[in-house]
């Protein structure tokens, strides 16, 4: 066991200041004294334990002297002293030498005939001093202790087995039968057995109730012993679940439920039978078992409404429980589930509203935030008034939870931005720490970026905040935002005063940020504003800080140049992709001396437009609201009746693949003449994963070209492939011509066994406006020369044979011509575009509105807006989408859906675009 040094603890037991060397010398003298004084030795051992627990360490020779001095106390039979001896020996065993010499003394207390108090202490200590060479000597002893009738002895042996697993796993695995017997053995802690003074426990009539904790310890060890065999684990789960009343320990059943959750996640074929077990545990008499079963069901991937309903019903009953902890656990689980499936939690809204006035403010906070996720637009104002009432009564941690929920609500109901902005500005004036203020600022930033109607009012609130802001980081961020958004407002001059106040009153860091923000106002097409900004920047040239002076000088120099040049430096249209920049910097820093010998090349980082950067931020914030299970975001499933969207089915919400591949494609000389990469598709498998050649295909679209990327893996042992290429034949148009003309193929010269290579096939896209969005199907054939490896020399044979391998086709469709892009105001964009086309479709095979949304987004590759990707009702829904074409044209789609259990989903899609052909293409993309 390791401890962290606590510098604040200067006194030991009783308040006396303890010196390490004084305690050390007292221990040496006291333990070697004759006769042994039990009371004095117990006090010395207590001081020694205190020093070890607060982070003090002894040198190895000191630890060894202490260790062997303590072993002399085995001569005395005092029970309390013996327990303290074992406690300290266990702590010193890792830092002392020759600890194995005390094994015989400890083993005397592990025998069946010894006092029951000694045995568990002795067994736990024995496990700490044993090593791999001597573990077999105690194998029989541990096996006997595991099945001992006394639960404290059995638990001590099981816990010691945990610690012995890293020492000798093979030996511990031989104890599996005894461990399984202990799992089913009912060993309570009977009060009568330990109530007498002869046992030395001194528990008496008020001892612990029957907890059957031995089952919990045994089940954990049994899982570790069988973790390498999935079928054995499934068999163990089924046997223990069918044991019924034999499993008495609620903690053991909770652990078993977690094993079930892991088994379901790893093997989808076991989902149905194991779900039946989870549903049965919802009716268990223990609350903790009910909560764990409900939590596991709601966190299952692709859970349907029918599967989630029993768990929600059980949690709904606990919402009215008289116990605080039960209400808290129930509302916390429902709160997490409401992040991804709010419509399923609507049935609990009445019970949740009753918790708003709960005396436990933590419960009230979760109730409010859950209602913010499950409520409708009409209930927002009422909820905002209720939230204001108790914000001063909760800690900053729960205030942040409330603010994050309101931030999500801002994106969900943009029309309610006024009331939410008023609330945020109010809490911004309240007392609070940095993290709380940062959460409020982030929420207001999101309103400004994603709800344009709130921009000017939100900026005014932020200007007032920085007047008294005590946090430098927040002030810098707000000034940066004012520089970005202020010049584009209707009255930009009112923000100049707030910014210049920071130059006069703040520290150097804030002054530098204010100068940069101020310089961006010089780009406004107003001579008086430009002259005012120039005067203010000139005053900054006398600043005592060199960074402030340099920024002011650069801004003045740029303001004297032509506007396009100044704009390129002060307010560039494109910015580096932060994800790609981070990746390139990590490679540069970790690349060793060779990488550091040359300067970092910023040209290797792809640049994206500001609209695309905002879209990336919106996706990140959308995905960040999903709860986490096992380190990954939980998707709510796409099966029948499911209420969420699976990330794997929503590329518009997923990774921007163009950013991922742009850097690698730019390094290929043949592709550099094609210009900037506009769009890349996600990798699509073109063969089964078990075949001898595993191939995935990726489509890269440029302004006038198409590049097909084929990643080929050679899984054949003792075989080398040479001259590996793919013959991609595009389909012919209706007039018999081939719209896509092949330009060149970049083949793989040599592909060794168990290696992966990349093939590129480049095509010229159809020219002319009438053919700009012409799709097609490419039939693909892998062509190569196969050579076997000589087992004697390890080199491939000189003679080989040519071979071909047919793979799946690649289709160029509607989604490949559209780039998902975020815009803040859907209605404004809809009113701007003139060409409109509509069509009605019936999706008979779709089982829910969520699945229909996922399918439409996947088919069209458009960005969902205003939170419309998640339906709030089961019967009707409106999906709002936006994208840009490869040429930069705008496309907006409005999809109205209706769901019926008999007919499935019926939808009407209306599309508006700058080009009528684009509108027709998008409408036909769902067919």
Distance CA 764, CA 739 (A): 8
Q: Which residue has the higher pLDDT, 632 or 585?
A: 585
pLDDT tens, position by position, 290-318: 999 999 999 887 778 888 899 999 999 99
Which are the contacts of 591, defined by CB distance < 8 A and separation ≥ 6? none
Give the largest Cα separation in the chain, rounded.
111
Distance CA 849, CA 638 (A): 10
Residue identified by tokens 């799709």 is 775
For the ranges 316-330, 724-738, 770-784, 852-866, the maximum mean pLDDT occurs at 316-330
Task: Give the domains, in start order, of the chain with CATH numbers.
Answer: 1-92 (no CATH), 107-191+206-228 (1.25.10.10), 574-608 (no CATH), 654-812 (2.60.40.1480), 817-923 (3.30.310.10)
Beta bridge partners, 699, equal 708
Q: Which two tokens stand for residue 489?
A: 């407002």
SS3 814: helix
Which are the contacts of 274, defined by CB distance < 8 A and separation ≥ 6? 237, 260, 263, 264
Distance CA 192, CA 189 (A): 9
- Mean pLDDT over 554-566 rounds to 84
Burial tier of 416 (Cβ tally within 10 Å: 0-12, 13-18, 19+): middle
Determine the pLDDT at residue 638.
32
pLDDT above 90 coverage of the chain, percent: 9
Distance CA 421, CA 641 (A): 35
Instruction: Give the distance from CA 620 to its chain's centroid.
Output: 11
Determine the pLDDT at residue 696.
92
DSSP string, 502-554: HHHHS-HHHHHHHHHHHHGGGGSS-HHHHHHHHHHHHHGGG-SSHHHHHHHHH
Determine the pLDDT at residue 399.
83
- Mean pLDDT over 362-379 rounds to 80
| Whether pLDDT at 181 is above 50 | yes
pLDDT tens, position by position, 240-288: 877 666 778 888 889 989 888 888 888 777 888 888 888 888 988 889 9
Instruction: Give the distance from CA 276 to its chain's centroid.
Output: 29
Determine the pLDDT at residue 769.
67
Determine the pLDDT at residue 819.
82
- Mean pLDDT over 685-707 rounds to 88
Q: How many CB atoms lie within 10 A of CB 741?
A: 13
Determine the pLDDT at residue 647.
35
Q: Which residue has the higher pLDDT, 708 or 717?
A: 708
pLDDT tens, position by position, 47-84: 988 888 888 888 888 888 888 888 888 888 888 888 88
| Extended strands (E) in 429-494 | none
| Whether pLDDT at 772 is above 80 | no
Give 506's pLDDT tier (boundaries 50, 70, 90).
confident
pLDDT tens, position by position, 134-173: 888 888 888 888 888 888 888 888 888 888 888 888 888 8
Determine the pLDDT at residue 193.
41
How long is the chain? 927
| Whether pLDDT at 823 is above 80 | no
- Mean pLDDT over 673-680 rounds to 84
Distance CA 620, CA 578 (A): 12
- Would residue 519 be called left, alpha or beta, if left means φ above 0 and alpha means ψ between -120 and 50 degrees? alpha
Give 797's pLDDT tier (boundaries 50, 70, 90).
confident
Distance CA 95, CA 63 (A): 6
Taking Cα atoms as reference points, which of 866, 469, 868 lies closest to residue 856?
868
| Whether pLDDT at 443 is above 90 | no
Q: Are 563 and 526 in contact (CB under 8 A)?
A: no
pLDDT tens, position by position, 184-207: 777 765 444 444 433 333 333 333
Which are the contacts of 342, defined by CB distance < 8 A and separation ≥ 6? 373, 374, 643, 870, 872
| Whether pLDDT at 878 is above 70 | yes
CA angle 563, 569, 573 (to 5 degrees): 85
Taking Cα atoms as reference points, which of 296, 319, 318 lies closest to residue 307?
296
Distance CA 386, CA 361 (A): 13
SS3 276: helix
pLDDT tens, position by position, 380-422: 777 777 777 777 777 788 788 888 878 877 777 777 778 888 8
Distance CA 569, CA 23 (A): 67
pLDDT above 70 coverage of the chain, percent: 87
Determine the pLDDT at residue 17.
58
Determine the pLDDT at residue 203.
34
| Whether pLDDT at 849 is above 70 | yes
Q: Are 744 and 683 in contact (CB under 8 A)?
A: no
């Amino acid at each position: 066991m390791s401890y962290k040094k606590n510098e604040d603890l200067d006194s030991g037991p009783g308040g006396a200041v303890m010196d390490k060397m004084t305690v050390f010398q007292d221990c040496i003298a006291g333990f070697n004294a004759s006769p042994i004084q039990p009371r004095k030795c117990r006090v010395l051992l207590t001081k020694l334990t205190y020093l070890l627990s607060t982070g003090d360490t002894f040198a190895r020779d000191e630890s060894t002297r202490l260790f062997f001095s303590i072993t002399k106390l085995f001569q005395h039979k005092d029970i309390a002293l013996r327990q303290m001896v074992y406690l300290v020996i266990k702590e010193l065993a890792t830092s002392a030498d020759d600890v194995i010499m005390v094994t015989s003394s400890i083993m005397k207390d592990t025998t069946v005939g010894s006092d029951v108090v000694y045995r568990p202490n002795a067994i736990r200590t024995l496990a700490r001093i044993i090593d791999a060479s001597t573990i077999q000597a105690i194998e029989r002893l541990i096996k006997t202790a595991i099945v001992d009738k006394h639960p404290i002895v059995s638990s001590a042996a099981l816990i010691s087995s945990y610690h012995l697993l890293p020492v000798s796993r093979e030996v511990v695995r031989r104890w599996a039968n005894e461990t399984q017997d202990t799992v089913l053995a009912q060993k309570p802690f009977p009060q009568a057995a330990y109530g007498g003074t002869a046992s030395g426990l001194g528990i008496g009539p008020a001892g612990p109730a029957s907890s059957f904790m031995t089952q919990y310890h045994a089940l954990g060890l049994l899982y570790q012993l069988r973790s390498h065999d999935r079928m054995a684990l499934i068999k163990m789960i089924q046997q223990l679940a069918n044991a019924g009343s034999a499993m008495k320990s609620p903690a053991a059943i909770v652990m078993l439920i977690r094993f079930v959750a892991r088994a379901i996640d790893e093997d989808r074929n076991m989902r149905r039978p194991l779900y039946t077990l989870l549903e049965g545990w919802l009716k268990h008499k223990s609350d903790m078992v009910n909560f764990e079963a409900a939590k596991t069901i709601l966190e299952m991937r692709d859970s349907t409404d029918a599967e989630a309903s029993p768990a929600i019903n059980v949690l709904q009953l606990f919402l009215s429980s008289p116990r605080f902890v039960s209400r808290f656990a129930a509302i916390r689980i429902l709160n997490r589930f409401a992040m991804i499936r709010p419509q399923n939690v609507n049935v609990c809204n009445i019970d949740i509203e009753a918790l708003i006035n709960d005396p436990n403010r933590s419960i009230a906070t979760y109730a409010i935030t859950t209602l913010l996720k499950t409520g409708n637009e009409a209930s927002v104002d009422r909820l905002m008034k209720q939230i204001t009432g108790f914000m001063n009564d909760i800690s900053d941690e729960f205030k942040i939870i409330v603010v994050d929920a309101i931030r999500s609500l801002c994106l969900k109901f943009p029309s309610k931005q006024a009331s939410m902005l008023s609330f945020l500005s109010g809490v911004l004036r309240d007392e609070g720490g940095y993290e709380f203020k940062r959460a409020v600022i982030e929420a207001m930033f999101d309103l400004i970026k994603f709800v344009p109607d709130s921009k000017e009012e939100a900026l005014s609130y932020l200007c007032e905040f920085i007047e008294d802001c005590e946090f430098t980081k927040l002030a810098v961020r707000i000034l940066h935002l004012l520089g970005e958004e202020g010049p584009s407002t209707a009255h930009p001059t009112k923000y100049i005063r707030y910014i210049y106040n920071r130059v006069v009153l703040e520290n150097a860091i804030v002054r530098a940020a204010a100068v940069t923000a101020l310089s961006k106002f010089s780009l406004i097409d107003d001579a008086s504003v430009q002259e005012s900004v120039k005067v203010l920047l000139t005053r900054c040239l006398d600043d005592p800080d060199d960074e402030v002076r340099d920024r002011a000088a650069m801004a003045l120099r740029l303001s004297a140049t032509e506007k396009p040049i100044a704009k390129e430096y002060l307010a560039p249209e494109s910015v580096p992709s932060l994800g790609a920049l981070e990746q390139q910097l990590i490679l540069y820093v970790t690349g060793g001396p060779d990488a550091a010998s040359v300067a970092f090349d910023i040209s290797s980082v792809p640049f994206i437009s500001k609209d695309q950067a905002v879209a990336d931020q919106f996706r990140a914030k959308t995905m960040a609201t999903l709860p986490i299970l096992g380190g990954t975001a939980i998707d709510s499933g796409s099966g029948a009746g499911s209420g969420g969207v699976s990330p794997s089915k929503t590329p518009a919400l997923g990774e921007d693949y163009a950013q991922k591949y742009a850097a690698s494609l730019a390094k290929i000389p043949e592709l550099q003449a094609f210009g900037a990469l506009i769009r890349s598709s996600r990798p699509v498998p073109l063969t089964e994963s078990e075949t001898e050649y595993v191939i995935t295909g990726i489509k890269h679209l440029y302004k006038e070209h198409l590049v097909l990327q084929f990643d080929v893996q050679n899984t054949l042992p003792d075989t080398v492939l040479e001259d590996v290429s793919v013959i991609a034949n595009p389909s012919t148009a209706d007039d018999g011509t081939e719209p896509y003309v092949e330009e060149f193929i970049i083949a793989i010269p040599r592909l060794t066994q168990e290696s992966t290579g990349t093939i590129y096939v480049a095509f010229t896209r159809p020219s002319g406006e009438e053919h700009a969005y012409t799709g097609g199907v490419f039939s693909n054939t892998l062509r190569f020369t196969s050579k076997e490896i000589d087992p004697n020399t390890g080199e491939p044979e000189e003679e080989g044979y040519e071979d071909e391998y047919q793979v799946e086709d690649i289709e160029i469709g509607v989604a490949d011509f559209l780039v998902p892009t975020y815009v803040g105001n859907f209605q404004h964009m809809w009113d701007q575009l003139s060409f409109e086309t509509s069509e009605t479709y019936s999706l008979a095979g779709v089982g829910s509105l969520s699945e229909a949304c996922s399918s439409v987004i996947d088919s069209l590759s458009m960005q969902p807006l205003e939170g419309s990707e998640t339906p709030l009702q089961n019967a009707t829904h409106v999906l709002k989408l936006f994208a840009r074409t490869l040429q930069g044209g705008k496309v907006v789609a409005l999809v109205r859906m209706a769901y019926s259990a008999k007919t499935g989903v019926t939808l009407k899609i209306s599309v508006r675009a700058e080009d009528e052909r684009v509108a027709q293409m998008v409408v036909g993309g769902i067919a």
